[in-house]
A and B are shown apart, each in its own frame.
Chain A
Amino acid sequence: MNWWIALNGIVVREVLRFVHQRERFLGALVRPLIWLFVFAAGFRAALGIAIIPPYPTYIPYEVYIVPGLVGMVQLFNGMQGSLSMVYDREMGSMRVLLTSPLPRGFLLFARLLAGVVVSILQVYGFLLVVALYGVELPAWAPLTVLPALALNGLMLGALGMLLASTIRQLENFAGVMNFVVFPLFFLSSALYPLYRMQEAGEALYLLCRLNPFTHGVELVRFALYGQVSGEALAVVLGATALFLAGAIQRYSPARGMAGKAGAAAG
């Protein structure tokens, strides 16, 4: 009962904070929409896509790119949220969170989950614009994609927290963009089907296949069509468990302090 009350409170706070930060919501929407409106429009002519599952027929590029952009929304949200949990920006609120008598692992998990709820709200905002723009998705897609969004969000949030707790150099967001977000995004099936990557080179293809973000995107892609990709599900579940365990074990609330001292000294 206490756990449920606490989880509920943590999620409600995160959603309230999100509702009050309209710029954050707009930022989260603008990024993938630029890709959809501009990049996809220009790229459509250059890239033809063969019939590949889960698509039953030829699809315009805008349809292909939607799951990748959903992944992008969750990737940014996960990285931003997790970084602020580890570094001093939210030191105060993390200290308050950790004065709860509930186990620290549960509190961190609940905090990650609250971030996932916010990322799902952002994704729904994005999907609404996508539908208005005229990209066709199955009517049930918003419903069937929900479990995939929850899993993908959790995986990316946990990954962000693990990386931020492990690598000090990730303290600023530029570092995260260059060394985490861009590689994860471009070395994935978000923008192009992997058979295209294979044509470009086996090494690149292998990297894409090893990238957990690829499997997150594929999980979302299949779920939008009411299908489950067994391979993607297995990889995402495994990666989520691994990242979560690592993130919770390595998380130190004192890191914000140590980070600042380290930065001052170095």
Chain B
Amino acid sequence: MGALSVEDLGYTHASGRKALDGVSFSVAPGQFTALLGPNGAGKSTLFALATGLLSPQAGHIRVHGHDLARTPGPALARLGVVFQQPTLDLDLSVAQNLRYFAALHGIPRREADRRIEAELTRLDLFGRRDETVRALNGGHRRRAEIARALLHRPALLLLDEPTVGLDLPTRRTLIGHVHALCAHDGIAVLWATHLIEEIDPATDRVVVLHRGTVRAAGPVAEVNRAAGAATVTETFDRLTAEAAA
């Protein structure tokens, strides 16, 4: 059973524009999967569907075997999300933000505080738990959001371009941390990005999305071989250029 399984997903916007068509792929526990695609590929729509913001018009999304449309409760209980846009309350402290989120998942206060300490410590942020989010820089805010997304111990972590606007060292730290989550905690990760250098060709898998369809999916080496390319960059360029022409 995959942590995330997307089957034959289709979505057409009210304007008539087809955003996704027959999209299928899966992410297994412990896997880091990068969702690659140029702007307008359908990544945002896919994330909106996977977080329940939109409902699929065709196909299914299952989180840990639970259909997101039919049984949203159990599916959402296993899903952690880091949205592209910042979603922390700026005037509240880091700990207050995280406690609020824990409450949304029904975690009692004492247990919540224990988990907040553990997650913030892992991200080297525990010392700043009582500062307001406004006082943190972009990288620290992102770390707080990742810590928050892990409080309810999800099986699957979705991140929508989480490194946008961050400097290189901060990006590396975040990528390293999320890779460690896969390796040590067995969490499945779907990481949407258009920054190909964020992918580790040795361990990661990729899903290349272009114009609403999956152009390639699998381990980096396999995808490269199938595309007749040497690097992910080359693969990406080939898969997204042919149809654009």
User: Which residue numbers of A lie inside 8 Å of B, CB to CB?
Assistant: 1-3, 5-6, 8-10, 12-13, 16-17, 20-21, 91-93, 95-104, 107, 253-254, 257-258, 261, 265
Question: Is B26 among interface residues, defined by CB-CB distance under 8 A?
Answer: no
Identify 11 new A-B residue pairs, CB closer than 8 A, beyond the known A10-B104, A99-B76, A102-B104: A9-B104, A92-B86, A95-B53, A96-B81, A96-B83, A96-B104, A98-B53, A101-B72, A107-B104, A261-B15, A265-B15
Contact size range, B? 20 to 34
| A–B complex contacts, Cβ < 8 Å, 12 sampled | A1-B106, A5-B108, A6-B103, A9-B99, A13-B92, A20-B92, A98-B52, A99-B79, A99-B81, A102-B104, A107-B104, A254-B53
Q: Contact: A258 with B103, CB < 8 Å?
A: no
The answer to whether residues A9 and B81 also contact, given A96-B87, A98-B53, A253-B53 and a CB cut-off of 8 A, is no
Question: Is B6 among interface residues, defined by CB-CB distance under 8 A?
Answer: no
Q: Contact: A254 with B48, CB < 8 Å?
A: yes
In the complex, what residues of A have CB within 8 A of residue B106's CB?
A: 1-3, 5-6, 101-102
Q: Contact: A95 with B87, CB < 8 Å?
A: yes
User: In the complex, how many angstroms separate the beta carbon of B112 from the nearest chain A beta carbon?
Assistant: 9
User: In the complex, how many angstroms separate the beta carbon of B104 from the nearest chain A beta carbon?
Assistant: 4
Q: Contact: A101 with B73, CB < 8 Å?
A: yes
A265 to B52, CA, bound (A): 25
Q: Contact: B92 with A101, CB < 8 Å?
A: no
A164 to B229, CA, bound (A): 51
**Chain B residues numbered 1-48 whose CB sits less than 8 Å from any CB in chain A:** 14-15, 48
The answer to whether residues A100 and B76 also contact, given A9-B99, A92-B83, A95-B83 and a CB cut-off of 8 A, is yes
**Chain B residues numbered 83-113 whose CB sits less than 8 Å from any CB in chain A:** 83, 85-87, 89, 91-92, 96, 99-108
B154-167 CB mask vs A (1 if < 8 Å, else 0) is 00000000000000
Question: Is B54 among interface residues, defined by CB-CB distance under 8 A?
Answer: yes
In the complex, what residues of A have CB within 8 A of residue B228's CB?
A: none
User: In the complex, how many angstroms separate the beta carbon of B96 from the nearest chain A beta carbon?
Assistant: 6
User: In the complex, how many angstroms separate the beta carbon of A8 from the nearest chain B beta carbon?
Assistant: 6
Nearest residue, chain A, Cβ from B54: A254
Question: Is B182 among interface residues, defined by CB-CB distance under 8 A?
Answer: no
Q: Could you say which of A9, A99, A107 contacts B51, with CB atoms under 8 Å apart?
A: A99
A1 to B89, CA, bound (A): 25
Q: Could you say which of B74, B87, B89, B99 contacts A101, with CB atoms under 8 Å apart?
A: B74
In the complex, what residues of A have CB within 8 A of residue B99's CB?
A: 9, 12
The answer to whether residues A93 and B104 also contact, given A20-B92, A101-B72, A101-B74 and a CB cut-off of 8 A, is no
Q: Contact: A100 with B89, CB < 8 Å?
A: no
User: In the complex, how many angstroms separate the beta carbon of B77 from the nearest chain A beta carbon?
Assistant: 4
The answer to whether residues A95 and B89 also contact, given A6-B104, A10-B104 and a CB cut-off of 8 A, is no
Q: Contact: B14 with A258, CB < 8 Å?
A: yes
A73 to B48, CA, bound (A): 36
In the complex, what residues of B have CB within 8 A of residue A5's CB?
A: 103, 106-108
User: In the complex, how many angstroms separate the beta carbon of B127 from the nearest chain A beta carbon?
Assistant: 21
Q: Contact: B73 with A103, CB < 8 Å?
A: yes
Q: Contact: B52 with A99, CB < 8 Å?
A: yes
The answer to whether residues A100 and B104 also contact, given A17-B92, A92-B83, A92-B87 and a CB cut-off of 8 A, is yes
The answer to whether residues A16 and B96 also contact, given A21-B91, A92-B83, A99-B79 and a CB cut-off of 8 A, is yes
In the complex, what residues of B have CB within 8 A of residue A100's CB?
A: 76, 104-105
In the complex, what residues of A have CB within 8 A of residue B92's CB?
A: 13, 16-17, 20
Nearest residue, chain A, Cβ from B72: A101
Q: Could you say which of B14, B72, B83, B103 contacts A9, with CB atoms under 8 Å apart?
A: B103
